[in-house]
Each structure stands twice: as structure tokens, then as C-alpha cells.
Amino acid sequence: MTLWYTARGAGLAALVMLTLATSLGALGSIQVSAATRVVMQYVHRVAAVFGLGLVAVHVTSLLADAKAGVGVAGALVPFASSYRPGAVAMGSIAAYTLVAVSALGAARGRLARSVRAVAVWRGVHTLAYGAWGLAMAHSLMAGTDASLSWVRTLWALCLVAVLSAVTARLAARRLRVHGVLR
């Protein structure tokens, strides 16, 4: 039972960390002081790394728990799980996407030398929003705790956090386009 609790806890904690990373990533383009920007970027990266680490704990715990019914192929190959294949696939695809985005993010410093590479980085990095959405859907559809009120409240808070951050980012972009902000 310990593995099952670990898997559930790590999955929910990963969702919270990835929500923090996604929210701060969205807010990263808003005009703030240099010090605030550095702190936001640092916390964004740390939350992403912790989130991915918790995803690894989540998956490893499920694989180690024979009663979970996911199996190695089910966890690693989308739609191969015997347990809620579509919902588990969303989690697998989200994890793969987040790993790819993070790997490219780690190489961003080297990519910054080329305008084209920066454009590619931005495009790929934008996939993190979709991956976060898949992780949210995975949490609701595959999670055995999805019916608990506190889990639904946590899910709603994660949704509000990311939607608020994206709204603020889009509003700031619109103000820059209209010359209100620089």
C-alpha cells in the first residue's frame, strides 16, 4: 500500500510543481524588474525540475506496485496500459513532452546565439502548455482520487493559477502592442 500512496502523492505533488512552473513561465514575459525576472526564472526552472522528479517517482512507484496494473509497457508506450489506456497515455505523452521541453530549455543558452534557434526554442517551449493540460486531464481521468473534494479543489486551483498567468501574459502582450507597455 505504501507504493500506492507514494504514487498518488507524487502525482499530485508533480501537478502542483508543474502548475507553478507553467504559471511562472507564462508570467516570465511580463515587464518586471531585472531582479524579479531572475528570481521568477530560477523558481520556474527549479519547479520544473522538481515536477519532473516527482513524475519519475510517480511512474516508478506505479511500476513497482504490481497491484497498480499499469505495467512497464503501459507506462512507457501510450495507449498500451490495461488500466484506463487513454488516461494513462495522456500522462505518458505529457511526461515525454515535458522532458523534451526541459532538455531543450537546458540547451537554451547555446541556442540563443541564433535567431532561428531561439524561434525554434520558443515554439517547442510552448508545447509545455499542452503537456500541462494533458497532465491535468490525466490527473482527473486516471487518478483514483479524482472524486475527492480536496483533490478537485487542488485541480481547480491549478487550473485557475495557469489560466490567470496566461491571461496576464496575453494582456501584457496586448498592452505592448498598443504601446502602453514597453
Tens digits of per-residue pLDDT, 138-182?
Answer: 999 998 888 999 999 999 999 999 999 999 999 988 877 766 665
Q: Give the model's pLDDT for residue 182.
A: 58
Q: Give the model's pLDDT for residue 181.
A: 63
pTM for this predicted structure:
0.90
Q: Which residue has the higher pLDDT, 172 or 11?
A: 11
**CA separation for the pair 143, 120 (Å, rounded):** 34
CA distances from 24 to 18, 105, 145, 153 (A): 10, 14, 27, 21
Q: What integer is the mean pLDDT of 88-117? A: 87
Average pLDDT for the chain: 90
Q: Give the model's pLDDT for residue 143.
A: 82
